Amino acid sequence: MAISEYLGSRKNIAGSVCGLAGLALTFTGLAGAYWPVVVAGLYGAGALVAPPERPALPDFPDPSARLDEVREDFGRLGRCLADVELPPGAAGSLDELTGLLAALLEPGWVAEALARDPEGVHVLSRMVRQDVPEAVDTFVRARWWHRLAPGQEPPERHLERQTGLLRREAEKLAADLGETESRRQETHTRYLEDRGGDR
């Protein structure tokens, strides 16, 4: 520990307070001729009994900050998807999914409920940053190869299935958040009922 750090440490502060008590004893005449030993001894005792310094905790971003980052990434994803030409069925399925994701990410009480659910933030982040981009990218690549070698299952069917699966996952996330809010409401009702019953 550097000298400048030690000067502001708990050990130095506690030792200094005890050393001042030693000086007070000296001025009242209780320390006698051995006052330097008394002052130094009390300083040392105070420094020994002081609680140790706690290391600073890492400054992790709170979930709402993570949600803001996901919201920004979702905006970038939307601009990217606008440039992709999709067949009507796949486009409709993707629009349903992105509409649901937009509703979950919209600032307000829904986003606040989501921010209290780190697993939900992770699921949404994975969809926005990995699952949807990968589904669209693989569709674009497979469509090019399908044009060269037709006869295989059309790539838009895979995209529709993928977006359908992702939509169900997002719907489950929304349902779980709604259930959490319902339980919160029920808990508040029970609290009010119990509080009223105590009177």
Query: What residue ranges do the domains of the chain occupy?
Result: 3-49, 63-197
User: 82, 149 in Cβ contact below 8 A?
Assistant: no
**Averaged pLDDT in 10-residue chunks for the chain of 199 residues:** 70 84 82 81 83 74 78 92 88 92 88 84 93 92 76 84 94 91 90 77
Residue 32's region, left for phi above 0, alpha for psi from -120 to 50, else beta, is: left
User: 180, 113 in Cβ contact below 8 A?
Assistant: yes
Instruction: State pTM to two decimals.
Output: 0.64
Predicted local confidence at residue 168, as pLDDT: 95
Task: Give burial (CB, 10 Å; 0-12/13-18/19+) of 42.
Answer: buried
Owner of token pair 């005890």: 18
Cα 142 to its chain centre, rounded Å, is 36
